[in-house]
Structures are given as structure tokens and as C-alpha cells.
Structure 1
Amino acid sequence: MTNWYETLDGTQAQVWDRLTQGANKRAHVALGTVSIDGQPEVRTVVLRDVDPKTRSLELYTDLQSDKITSLRNNPKAAIHLWDADLALQIRVQADVTILTGDAVMDRWNAVPDHSKNSYGITPSPGQPIPESTAYTKKPDPAVFAVLSCQATHIDAVYLGDIHRRAAFSQVGDWTGKWLAP
């Protein structure tokens, strides 16, 4: 019997399975972008949807957040997921499209009421405030955005007894290759 991490096809299937499960469980992932002044930025976001067939991932955010400014300047991102159960690190590089308005109303309507408070903070996220709680939260669908992330490259590292690393790329038609871990 072959284990998933012993073949490129098995590794790629496991990556997409774990990403899909992560979205189903609303897993927290790290999202990396580049600020407008060229500095790296990483923050924790919730993985909302994954489509292995189209190799796309979705994240939700407030349209007023700094990550939107960064992505408008450079629409590329990295997404990192660590799966402790499998000892699997997944890094996805992606081209990002920012979706808003009518294009995302179906997603907005599916967001639980208590979670909608995360989209519509005054003053906007990252702005200085005089005290730690000097802000208000009022759900506002006009500032709700979906980050549609189209995977272009995936790096998967299995850290079991014998480490293995594989890379999959849009350029290589997703066939994959082994890399030294």
C-alpha cells in the first residue's frame, strides 16, 4: 500500500483535500501580502471556500483594511496552512481578485449575524484611536469583500519520519516535482 506522501499525485490530492477540509472547518490560515512600501505583511484570516477543480481559494475581509490597499498595489498573496495531524505544511502562491458589491451578496447573506460585525468598523481598521475600545461595529455589506485567490504555485512539505517536499505549479500544468526538503 502506498501512502499519500510517497507520490506526487497523492501529495497533490492530499493538499487539496486538506485545504477543502480547512475551508469546511473555517480554518485559520496565514495570509502574506506586500505593503505599498514594499514591506512583508502577514495576518491570520479564515479560509472560507476552496475549489480544487479551479484551484481557487476564498477569504473574506473588510474593504477598508490595509490588506486591500496592499492587494490593489500588488495583487499577489501567499497562504500558509499547517496541518499538525498530518505533519503537512502547505504554502500557496496566488493571484488575487477583490470581489465586492452584488458579486458577493450571496456570501454576505450566508455570513452569520454575529460575524457580520467584523465588516463595518468605524473608524476603519488600522486607524489610530484614543482608547482601546474607541470604535464601533456596525455590519455594512458595502465594505464586505471576498478575496478570490487563484493558485499559481503550491509547495507542500511533509514532516513525518522521512521528510518529503513537492512543488506544483500552474506553469508545469500542475504535474509537480520533488524538491529537497
Structure 2
Amino acid sequence: MSDPNDLAAFLASAWQHLGRGVADGRSPARYPTFATVSPDGLPELRTVALRRASQTDGIVEVHTDIVTPKVQSLRVLPKAALHVWLPKADLQIRLTTTVEILTGETVENAWASVPPASRVSYGTEPDPGTEIDDVYAYTKPPVRDRFAVLRCRIDHIDLVELGERHRRAEFTRGTEWRGAWLAP
């Protein structure tokens, strides 16, 4: 059994789960909850698909349609939080991030990796969130210019493990991810 006091191992385990979320569509880490604050100060939550996780760079990435309300919110306040719940591991991962919205030529490789059948997620007409007259009064053409990558630079990680004895730790970019134990 590993040492429960090993902060580095606890953090590495979280990154392993995030990496599995990128690679495995059945992993619960694949679909985190993504939180922003609307321009009028209201909390906004939605489920996104995790597309990249790099411990080395301290980033995670998700893809989006550039005209979604979350992008409008991020243009006003480029901060987001992601929440992942892993039931088999009894682990909650919370990430607080600063978000960069990438578009155009900088996302060409990411666009090329999107399967053709999934490209229809980027180009809904009318724009996402627009009122429509009928439940199916929209189309979903793939529109390359509407594709964006949200590069989330992680500032803070909060891990809570709900085992027989709970463990909680936080890690910050400012401390070079050294970590500290917190009361759960």
C-alpha cells in the first residue's frame, strides 16, 4: 500500500485520472462540469468533454463553439473551474483555471483530430441558446470557423478522497505544485 501522506503521489493519481479521461470516452473524467460566471454575475455550469490534460504544462483543454454563452462569459472574465467526480476512486478533483480562447490557425491540428461526425457540434444554426419555434428547428452544419479550443491554465487543484479516512489536499501553480494537506 502506498503512503497516504505522499502528496506527490496523490497529485500524480489525479493527473492519471485526467489523462484517462482524455484517452477513454467511458472514463468519468472525460466529462467534467465546467463552471464560468456570466457577464451579469450569475454562475453557469455545463458538461464538457476533456480533450487534453498535461501535467507538465499544468493545463487541460476542451473544445467549444465560439458563439456559445460560455465563450461570451470567458471574454468578460477568463476564469473557469472544472469539477470531476470519480465514483470508483471516491475522488473529487476541482481545478481553478485561467482560460485562453484559441481559434483560427492555432487550432488547426485540434480541428483535424475531431472526427467528421463530431464536427457538427461546432456550427449550430441558429446560435446555441437562441429561442426556436419547434424542438427541432435548428441545423448542425460543421463550421470550421466556429471551432475553438479553451486552454485552461490550472492555477489551483483541490483533491478530496472520500475513503474510510478522508484526505484532502491543495496544490497551486504558485508553489510549483508542492501541495498541502487540508482538513476534509
Instruction: Please report the TM-score for the alignment, with normalisation by the length of structure 2.
Output: 0.95
> Aligned residue for 2:11?
12
Q: Which has the higher strand share?
A: 1
Shift of 1:173: 1.9
| Structure 1: runs of 5+ lacking an equivalent | none
> How much identity, in percent, do the aligned residues show?
44
Q: Residue 2 of structure 1 aligns to which amino acid in structure 2? A: S
Q: Partner of 1:175: helix, strand, or coil? A: coil
Which of 120, 123, 134 is matched with 2:123 structurally? 120
The CA distance in 2 between the partners of 1:102 and 1:173, in whole Å, is 31
Name the CA distance, whole Å, in 1 between partners of 2:145 and 2:171.
36
User: Structure 1 residue 22 and structure 2 residue 25: aligned?
Assistant: no
Deviating 4+ runs (over 2 angstroms): none
Which residue in 2 is equivalent to 1:69? 72
For 1:145, the aligned partner's letter is A
Please say if 1:2 is aligned against 2:2: yes
2:87 is aligned with 1:84: yes
Equivalent residue runs for 1:1-181 within 5 Å: 1-3=1-3, 5-26=4-25, 27-181=30-184
Q: Distance in 1 between matches of 2:119 and 2:176?
A: 38
In the TM superposition, what is the alpha-carbon distance from 1:105 to its structure 2 partner? 1.1
- TM-score between both structures, scaled by the size of structure 1: 0.97
The CA deviation at 1:106 is 0.9
Secondary structure of 2:94's partner?
Answer: strand
Task: Give the CA deviation at 1:6.
Answer: 3.3
Post-superposition offset of 1:109: 1.1
- Residue type matched to 2:99 in 1? V
**Cα shift at 1:79:** 0.6
User: 1:122 corresponds to which letter in structure 2?
Assistant: E
Tell which deviates more after alignment, 32-41 or 19-28: 19-28
Mean CA deviation greater in 27-36 or 17-26: 17-26
Paired letter, 1:149? C
Instruction: Give SS of 1:126's match.
Output: coil
Q: How many pairs does the alignment contain?
A: 180
Three-state SS of the structure 2 residue aligned to 1:6 is coil
Secondary structure of 1:77's counterpart equals strand
